[in-house]
Structure 1
Amino acid sequence: MALMPPLAGTVIGGVSWRNLLLLLAWVLCYCTEFTTARWLTSRMSKRFLPPVAAYAAVTAVFGLALLVTTPGLLRWVPLYMVLAALTFLAAWRRVERSWWNNLVSIIAACTLCLIAYSLGSGPQSQATHSPGGYFGCPPNPAVNCFSEGLFPAQAFPPVGLVATLIFAYTEFGSVLYVKSLVRERKHLWCTVASVVWNLMLTIGAALVLPEVGFWPLFAALILVIRAAALPAIARERRIPIKQVGMVESIASLVVFLVTIGTAGPITAALQGVGLFS
């Protein structure tokens, strides 16, 4: 859930040293967040402090290297500071599996898809004509620096934005599905919401079928079938958490592969009806 969106953005946008460094920094950031959350949950027990300090130090080194070589990423720092604060608040209050903290995690991971795409070899090669005097600014000063304002259009490339929205939608569907089997298994509304949410995705995939082919519809059908079938099975017998996770891992992998293969055609189809310029 945390790694697939930025990894997909890297693949779709084209591998570059910038998005590879971003991926490394993100993995380290995740490790820092995880250990810090454990530390806060334990009410700052000294036993959990050494890994927090170690991961934070390594993350700072690679994070600063990324910002020095691509200072335009500073535009995203306020967002991630807020998301980090909310995550740590959830850890302190011991509500890490709450709905709102799930949303925080989705926003953090999926936004990385857009950022990783914008740093890819494809978008980076589409350099603007704005001058970039700082050594980290070329080849695309609009994205790598601030030559065209705080949030230029180049920081929101359509294909990257579409891939980000796909991941955000499907990952929230994943939250609904898992909760319908675990924490909210006694509440029918969660199962209904999960099925309806994924059914809407299936309808959307069917609408773009002529332009993008069968694979998005195939992925959507897998998601809606698992959202309906497993809760029905769980009403007869309890499904182990491990099996729930395995099914969701397979579904997430399908979404990952289909998004990589069809984000471009889906964007073109949406542009054809005027949804993206």
Structure 2
Amino acid sequence: MVETMNQGPEKDTASDNSSHASAVGGTTIAKPPQSDRKPSGTRSNTLRRWIPNQPGAWAMALMPPLAGTLMGGVSWRNLLLLLAWVLCYCTEFTTARWLTSRMSKRFLPPVAAYAAVTAVFGLALLVTTPGLLRWVPLYMVLAALTFLAAWRRVERSWWNNLVSIIAACTLCLIAYSLGSGPQSQATHSPDVYFGCPPNPAVNCFSEGLFPAQAFPPVGLVATLIFAYTEFGSVLYVKSLVRERKHLWCTVASVVWNLMLTIGAALVLPEVGFWPLFAALILVIRAAALPAIARRHRIPIKQVGMVESIASLVVFLVTIGTAGPITSTLQGVGLFL
């Protein structure tokens, strides 16, 4: 299980150059001599090789599986899944950096350490929950695409953003299916084996490769909400950073979030105001901040702060309303 979330909120390439030169009163200040700069072997630089340092990326990677864990009911299985996912994210981060550096030896120690620990917890998860093997092919493909993007140094490309979203949001569905709620509702199979009880449809293959129990409706709805809003987050951040000179990206961001607002308004009578409230926050920030940025450049940290708040709102509203939204959809013939 590997993904690339190191773009979110992504750093502006122009702002990266500000550490080398800045303009004050029209005069460019050159970067200091090598002797005045911090040596590359400082503790700070060492920590950066080991610990992913993008809070927005952490949020995008962890909120979907955490929401699935909380909604499905905390169990030792989804807690182990969450731990394995955190280790996978650290493995991905360090491996991508290692590949981007063309396999520089100084980036290898964290790769080896994280990969070893991830393998231990990942194998423990698969042994105790064999049904998760059904998801391994998907994550192998996503891992290959992630590392290809790192090798080609296009980690912030559109297609790699989609890889990141699929990897993180699918974990919401998986974590929900392993929760104490779905597990307690399952029946025992007469031919159980290690790892199958109490839900053979999820924990093994006695009822097929992809049984209905592996796609619980509430978990699936929450997954789709996270996937939709996280792609909207990508559009929004790019409209302020990498695509800020292209009006089409801002328009696409506003339209994408406006569609979410319309959907929230349609379920307002059955679900309540909170989904509409969250959607309004997203569409306002998608329209207002790019307009402000055309006159005054917004620092990337402020972009990240706004998006972190918006992501937290989506996280809380999804946990609270995914169930009622699912019931509403089932009422019109969906997710039967």
TM bucket normalised to smaller: over 0.9
Q: CA deviation at 1:133?
A: 2.5
Match of 1:237 in 2: 296
Q: For residues 105-139 of structure 1, give each alpha carbon's deviation from its aligned partner in whole angstroms, at most 9, with x where no partner exists.
A: 00000000000000000001111343353221111
Q: For residues 77-128 of structure 1, give each alpha carbon's deviation from its aligned partner in whole angstroms, at most 9, with x where no partner exists.
A: 0000000000000000000000000000000000000000000000011113
Q: For residues 197-226 of structure 1, give each alpha carbon's deviation from its aligned partner in whole angstroms, at most 9, with x where no partner exists.
A: 000000000000000000000000000000
Query: How has the CA–CA distance of structure 1 residues 101 and 132 changed in structure 2, closer, same or farther, with 3 Å as cutoff?
Result: farther
Structure 1 consecutive aligned stretches of length 4 or more whose deviation exceeds 3 Å: none
Q: CA deviation at 1:60?
A: 0.2
CA RMSD of aligned residues (A): 0.6
The answer as to whether partners of 1:130 and 1:148 remain within 8 angstroms in 2 is: no
Match of 2:88 in 1: 29
The answer as to whether partners of 1:132 and 1:141 remain within 8 angstroms in 2 is: no
> TM-score if structure 1 supplies the norm length?
0.99
CA distance in structure 1 between the aligned counterparts of 2:109 and 2:185, rounded to whole angstroms: 44
The answer as to whether partners of 1:130 and 1:141 remain within 8 angstroms in 2 is: yes
Match of 1:268 in 2: 327
CA distance in structure 1 between the aligned counterparts of 2:191 and 2:159, rounded to whole angstroms: 40
Query: How has the CA–CA distance of structure 1 residues 97 and 147 changed in structure 2, closer, same or farther, with 3 Å as cutoff?
Result: same
Q: For residues 119-160 of structure 1, give each alpha carbon's deviation from its aligned partner in whole angstroms, at most 9, with x where no partner exists.
A: 000001111343353221111011000110000000000000
> TM-score if structure 2 supplies the norm length?
0.82
CA distance in structure 2 between the aligned counterparts of 1:127 and 1:270, rounded to whole angstroms: 23
Q: CA deviation at 1:275?
A: 1.2
Task: Find the residue that maps to 1:44 and give its secondary structure.
Answer: coil
Match of 1:127 in 2: 186
The number of residues matched between the two structures is: 277
Task: Find the residue that maps to 2:61 and give its secondary structure.
Answer: coil
Q: CA deviation at 1:276?
A: 1.3
Q: CA deviation at 1:193?
A: 0.2
Match of 2:133 in 1: 74
Task: Find the residue that maps to 2:194 and give its secondary structure.
Answer: coil
Match of 1:44 in 2: 103
CA distance in structure 2 between the aligned counterparts of 1:158 and 1:6, rounded to whole angstroms: 15
Match of 1:97 in 2: 156
Gaps of 5+ in 1: none
The answer as to whether partners of 1:131 and 1:141 remain within 8 angstroms in 2 is: no
- For residue 264 of structure 2, the aligned residue among 200, 205, 208 is 205
The answer as to whether partners of 2:189 and 2:197 remain within 8 angstroms in 1 is: no
The answer as to whether partners of 2:188 and 2:198 remain within 8 angstroms in 1 is: no
The answer as to whether partners of 2:282 and 2:310 remain within 8 angstroms in 1 is: yes
Query: How has the CA–CA distance of structure 1 residues 47 and 145 changed in structure 2, closer, same or farther, with 3 Å as cutoff?
Result: same
CA distance in structure 1 between the aligned counterparts of 2:321 and 2:134, rounded to whole angstroms: 28
CA distance in structure 1 between the aligned counterparts of 2:190 and 2:317, rounded to whole angstroms: 37
CA distance in structure 1 between the aligned counterparts of 2:190 and 2:199, rounded to whole angstroms: 9
Structure with more helix by fraction: 1
